[in-house]
Chains A and B, each alone.
Chain A
Amino acid sequence: EVQVLESGGGLVQPGGSLRLSCAASGFTFSSYAMSWVRQAPGKGLEWVSGISASGDITYYADSVRGRFTMSRDNSKNTLYLQMNSLRAEDTAIYYCAKVPGYIVGATLDYWGQGTLVTVSS
């Protein structure tokens, strides 16, 4: 059974940093691209970033480019999102999602339950 499980969320002050993790199981992690999607309280879905299966190509939304860095460790079946210079508008549930292919650019076929990031003083 395909599973992705996010962790690392919490309360952080504006300007602070946080690293999210996503542990994958039930599929050959190194063969699939992955994405992060967030959802602010009471709002819709917003794509944040994507990474190819090998980790050599990354994509970012304009709203986070230069502040967030997405990476993966295929030996640990784990995805990461390093978030720096956090702002109040980054407050959201962050979902990890699997792409059914080697490169980002298709659908998102499996999603985790999300981890909540709150940016507040």
Chain B
Amino acid sequence: SYVLTQPPSVSVAPGQTARITCGGNNIGSKSVHWYQQRPGQAPVLVVYDDSDRPSGIPERFSGSNSDNTATLTISRVEAGDEADYYCQVWDSSSGAVFGGGTKLTVL
């Protein structure tokens, strides 16, 4: 089965840039999607197809994907960005696969 690996936690000061990675075998050949989940709330799509943003998502959220690593970048981090972030791909054998999630802490 296909496995996505995320760091358990990332910490960043307000105004700085946060980068959350998602590792997978040849993930660059797949479309990667990212979700934000604030405590007690449902997940929200923040980046899809590697680097596209749904309407209403700030430009501060961006994504990239190459080789074995996809990255979600959050620029000018705000306190409201504190949440869990999950990457996801579709694998023909496993179905939809999620990474284990990364807790973003704003210091």
Binding site for B on A (CB under 8 A): 35, 37, 44-47, 50, 59-62, 95, 104-114
| B: contact size bracket | 20 to 34
Q: Is the CB–CB distance between A45 and B33 below 8 Å?
A: no
The secondary structure that dominates the B interface is strand
Q: A106-B31, A106-B90 are in contact. Are A111 and B95 (CB under 8 A)?
A: no
Q: Which of B42, B86, B96 meets A95, CB within 8 Å?
A: B42
Q: Which of A44, A46, A107 meets B48, CB within 8 Å?
A: A107
Bound-state Cα–Cα, A106 to B33, Å: 9
Shortest beta-carbon distance, B6 to chain A, in Å?
9
B67 at the interface (CB under 8 A from A): no
Q: A45-B35, A108-B33, A109-B48 are in contact. Are A50 and B95 (CB under 8 A)?
A: yes
Bound-state Cα–Cα, A95 to B49, Å: 21
Q: Which of B42, B84, B95, B101 meets A59, CB within 8 Å?
A: B95
Shortest beta-carbon distance, A110 to chain B, in Å?
8
Q: Is the CB–CB distance between A107 and B45 below 8 Å?
A: yes
Shortest beta-carbon distance, A29 to chain B, in Å?
19
Q: A-facing mask of B50-92, CB < 8 A → 1, else 0?
A: 0000100000000000000000000000000000101010100
For residue B34, which residue of chain A has the nearest CB? Answer: A107
Bound-state Cα–Cα, A110 to B42, Å: 10
Q: Is the CB–CB distance between B86 and A44 below 8 Å?
A: yes
Shortest beta-carbon distance, B31 to chain A, in Å?
7
Q: Is the CB–CB distance between B101 and A44 below 8 Å?
A: yes
For residue B41, which residue of chain A has the nearest CB? Answer: A113
